[in-house]
Amino acid sequence: MSDRSAQLIDRLGPQTPIFQAPMAGVSTPQMAAAVTNAGGLGAIGIGAAKVEVAQAMIAKTRAATDGPFNVNVFCHRPAVPSPEREAEWLARMAPLFARFGAEPPRDLREIYTSFAADGAMQDMLCAQR
pLDDT in tens, 33-58: 999 999 999 999 999 999 999 999 99
Domain hosting 69: range is 3-76+113-128
Q: Cβ neighbours of residue 55 under 8 Å, at least 6 residues apart? A: 124, 128
The answer to whether residues 53 and 20 belong to one domain is: yes
The answer to whether residues 29 and 70 belong to one domain is: yes
pLDDT band per the 50, 70, 90 thresholds, residue 65: very high
pLDDT band per the 50, 70, 90 thresholds, residue 84: very high
Q: How many domains does one find in the chain? A: 2
The answer to whether residues 33 and 63 belong to one domain is: yes
The answer to whether residues 68 and 119 belong to one domain is: yes
pLDDT of 95 higher than 90: yes
The answer to whether residues 44 and 84 belong to one domain is: no
pLDDT of residue 63: 98
pLDDT of 17 higher than 80: no
Cα–Cα dist 100/114, whole Å? 31
pLDDT of 88 higher than 80: yes
**Average pLDDT for 85-94:** 95
The answer to whether residues 86 and 66 belong to one domain is: no
The answer to whether residues 121 and 95 belong to one domain is: no
pLDDT of 110 higher than 80: yes
State pTM to two decimals: 0.78
**Average pLDDT for 111-129:** 93
SS3 state of residue 71: strand
The answer to whether residues 117 and 107 belong to one domain is: no
The answer to whether residues 88 and 62 belong to one domain is: no
What's phi and psi for 72, nearest 5 deg? -110, 140
The answer to whether residues 24 and 49 belong to one domain is: yes
